[in-house]
């Protein structure tokens, strides 16, 4: 067992646009973040992952970067950044910044040059291709609807964009591009950041020749750019050129479509690539043919199977990231819990799971308050490019049923997570004195940080306790994992073990009472309560679990 700070850390994700506005323009900013660091310290987290803070025209809220060394004007200045970083470090909070280098903005100077002519020195920074029979070079689709290719009249060629047409894909085959990326990483490391979250890190390498993709799925072409042929070579190189220079650096790759086999390489224990990756199986299991707006019902047994598989199969070989929500996912309590009657109980139950598994837990802003999905009156209220494009593509220009698509958006749409932080019950939840860039969730009057901090039984205080316990007991971090009663459709039951120290976790995923029977294989000499979201003592025995009850015991 190789100990590392980032294995023991709890990471808190900040989506700067929606965290705290400091100047009344309705947009969160860096000074706003700095003003809320005491709150994060009180919660007890160890590191912040900051969604992109770079200069950007905001076609995709900063995931389209036009200057990798500049600060988004709406967020403030480099001085504001330095101050924020310094204040974090003073409080013992490390800073992980987002690095978006599968693509840049089309307004980045590289692309502005690149599109000028076929012989421009920056031409090969991007993926340009001739059309085929007067059409796109292949059948790949953009993850934000439509073709993944955009025609550029100026040079009579197409460029690839797996995301929006304002996010042209960088050409990772070009070693000059890779060196540019390593320089950018050095720049921020030298400024003092503690690592990176690498955006769509599994997509840098594309199959040579860019062949057509299979058409039985929503993201056509995916098999030619997910975990592509040179991807591990690229990460090995990045590791040698960057990671190896900075001893304590943490890297986490966003790797949708990653398999256990691939993750063992990306997040290998020998430290040859990244520290860890985000797997996506548990957040995409409901997608039919990979289409996020076409969903099958949730199935707990299947969900458990996925979670447990990642726990056992990476054991000793690679390190997990643990998450239920982020800026691309809906609110966890609305998705897997009950955001009405049992909001508190179910939110606590869900994070009991995340915080008692092997891997590094991530808490997305507002999850510690049990913030919920939003319900808007009209499609016009949504700002997310993925939602807007899907609507135009399927309803305005297609024949999708608007009510059905709206239902899917309300369940899974990204804006659910992007509504501004709910700090208190004053106008706009204390997020801004102006007009929020994205409409607030109306429930900020009841669900907010001030209320949560005042209530000793709140989700906030429970999360605080979960973090403290994890810091205290190595078994929660490093212990090996074993699941019981796998076919149980209502309960998730597992143990963790590190040497003599053992932990049993029992989670009721339903709003009904459920009978728990202590597995026969488990022998107990002595036990004590680790945490629970209801009144409980430390006696490990058969019992009736209350709605969304979660209990974790320590035992020997």
Residues noted as catalytic: 199, 254
Near ligand GLC by CB under 6 A: residue from 54, 111, 158, 163: 163
Stretch that binds Ca ion, among 17-25, 251-259, 402-410, 489-497 (CB under 5 A): 17-25
Choose, by CB under 5 A, the member of 14, 16, 19, 21 that binds Ca ion.
21
Residue choice 4, 8, 23, 450 for contact with Ca ion (CB under 5 A): 23
Question: Is 372 within 8 Å of 441 (Cβ atoms)?
Answer: yes
Distance of closest approach, residue 422 Cβ to ligand GLC, in angstroms: 21
DSSP letters along 54-90, please? Answer: EE---TTTTSS-SEEEEE-GGG--HHHHHHHHHHHHH
Element (H, E) at 465: helix 459-472
d(CA 297, CA 75): 39
Q: Shortest approach of Ca ion to residue 36 CB, angstroms?
A: 13
Residue among 9, 10, 14, 27 that touches Ca ion (CB under 5 A): 27
Among Ca ion, ligand GLC, none, what does residue 224 contact (CB within 5–8 Å per kind)?
none
Give the shortest CB-523-to-Ca ion separation in angstroms.
57
359, 370, 385: which is closest to 463 by C-alpha? 370
List, in order, residues 6 or more apart from 44 with CB less than 8 Å away: 10, 464, 467, 468, 471
Identity of the residue, 8 or 25, whose beta carbon is nearer to Ca ion in the bound complex:
25
Q: Which is nearer to ligand GLC, 63 or 342 (CB)?
A: 63
392-400 long-range contacts, CB within 8 A, separation 24+: 392/145, 393/145, 393/146, 394/145, 394/293
Contact string 183-222 vs ligand GLC (x = CB under 6 A): ----------------xx----------------------
Whether 71 and 34 have beta carbons less than 8 Å apart is answered as no
| Dist. CA 403–CA 395, nearest whole Å | 10
Cα gap 549→282, rounded to integer Å: 21
Beta strand pairing call for 54-55 and 291-295: unpaired
The answer to whether residues 483 and 304 touch, using CB atoms and an 8 Å cutoff, is yes
Binding residue for ligand GLC (CB under 6 A) from 9, 100, 101, 475?
100
262: partner contacted, choices Ca ion, ligand GLC, none (Cβ within 5-8 A by kind): none
- From the list Ca ion, ligand GLC, none, pick the one residue 100 interacts with, judged by a Cβ distance below 5 to 8 Å according to partner type: ligand GLC
d(CA 221, CA 227): 12
46 or 60: CB nearest ligand GLC: 60
Nearer to ligand GLC, 390 or 459 (CB): 390
* From the list Ca ion, ligand GLC, none, partner contacted by residue 60 (C-beta under 5 to 8 A by kind): ligand GLC
The dihedral over CA atoms of 253, 257, 262, 268, expressed in degrees to the nearest 10, equals 20
163 touches which of Ca ion, ligand GLC, none (CB within 5 to 8 A by kind)?
ligand GLC
Binding of residue 60 to ligand GLC (CB under 6 A): yes
Residue whose CB is less far from ligand GLC, 63 or 444: 63
Residue pair 293/388 in contact by the 8 Å Cβ criterion:
no
State yes or no: residue 433 binds Ca ion (CB under 5 A).
Answer: no
199 binds, among Ca ion, ligand GLC, none (CB under 5 to 8 A by kind): ligand GLC
Q: Where are the alpha helices (DSSP H) in 371-433?
A: 385-391, 402-412, 415-418
- Name which of residues 327 to 346 contact ligand GLC (CB under 6 A): 327-328
Positions that interact with ligand GLC (CB under 6 A): 60, 63, 100, 163, 199-200, 254, 327-328
Positions that interact with Ca ion (CB under 5 A): 21, 23, 25, 27, 29
């Amino acid at each position: 067992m190789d100990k590392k700070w980032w294995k023991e850390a709890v990471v808190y994700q900040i989506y700067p646009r929606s965290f705290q506005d400091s100047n009344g323009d309705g947009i969160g900013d860096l000074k706003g973040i700095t003003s809320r660091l005491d709150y994060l310290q009180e919660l007890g987290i160890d590191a912040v992952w900051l969604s992109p803070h770079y200069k950007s025209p905001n076609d995709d809220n900063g995931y389209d970067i036009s200057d990798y060394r500049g600060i988004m004007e709406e967020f403030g200045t480099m001085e504001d950044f330095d101050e924020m970083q310094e204040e974090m470090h003073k409080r013992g909070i490390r800073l992980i910044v987002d690095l978006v280098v599968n693509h840049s903005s089309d307004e980045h100077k590289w692309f502005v040059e690149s599109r000028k002519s076929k012989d421009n020195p920056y031409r090969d920074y991007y993926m340009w291709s001739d059309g085929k029979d007067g059409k796109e070079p292949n059948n790949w689709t953009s993850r934000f609807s439509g073709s993944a290719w955009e025609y550029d009249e100026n040079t009579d060629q197409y460029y690839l964009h797996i995301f929006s047409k304002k996010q042209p894909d960088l050409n990772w085959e070009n070693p000059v591009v890779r060196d540019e990326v390593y320089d950018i990483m050095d720049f921020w490391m030298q400024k003092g950041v503690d690592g990176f979250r690498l955006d769509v890190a599994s997509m840098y390498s594309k199959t040579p020749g860019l062949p057509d993709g299979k058409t039985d799925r929503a993201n056509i072409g995916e098999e030619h750019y997910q975990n592509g042929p040179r991807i591990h070579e690229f990460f090995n190189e990045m590791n040698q050129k960057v990671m190896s220079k900075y001893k304590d650096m943490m890297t986490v790759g966003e790797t949708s479509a990653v398999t256990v086999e691939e993750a063992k390489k990306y997040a290998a224990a020998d430290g040859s690539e990244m520290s860890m990756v985000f797997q996506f199986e548990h957040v995409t299991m409901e997608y039919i043919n990979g289409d996020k707006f076409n969903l099958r019902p949730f199935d707990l047994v299947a969900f458990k199977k996925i979670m447990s598989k990642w726990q056992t199969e990476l054991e000793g070989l690679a390190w997990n990231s643990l998450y239920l929500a982020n800026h691309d996912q809906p609110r966890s309590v609305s998705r897997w819990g009950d955001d009405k009657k049992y909001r508190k109980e179910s939110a606590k139950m869900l994070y009991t799971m995340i915080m008692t598994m092997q891997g590094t837990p991530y808490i997305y802003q507002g999850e510690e308050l049990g913030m919920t999905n939003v319900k808007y009156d009209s499609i016009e209220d949504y700002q997310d490019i993925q939602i807007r494009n899907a609507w135009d593509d399927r309803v305005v220009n297609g024949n999708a049923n608007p009510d059905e698509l709206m239902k899917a958006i309300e369940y899974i749409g990204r804006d659910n997570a992007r509504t501004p932080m709910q700090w208190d019950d004053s106008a706009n939840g204390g997020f801004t004195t102006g007009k929020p860039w994205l409409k607030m969730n109306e429930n900020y009057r009841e669900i907010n940080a001030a209320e949560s901090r005042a209530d000793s039984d709140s989700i906030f205080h429970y999360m605080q306790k979960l973090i403290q316990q994890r810091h205290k007991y190595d078994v929660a971090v490093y212990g090996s994992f074993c699941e019981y009663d796998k076919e149980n459709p209502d309960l998730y039951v597992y143990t963790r073990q590190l040497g003599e120290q053992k932990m049993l976790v029992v989670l009721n995923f339903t709003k009904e009472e459920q009978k728990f029977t202590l597995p026969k294989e488990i022998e107990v000499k002595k036990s004590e309560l680790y945490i629970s979201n209801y009144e409980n003592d430390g006696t490990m025995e058969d019992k009736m679990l209350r709605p969304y009850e979660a209990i974790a015991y320590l035992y020997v």
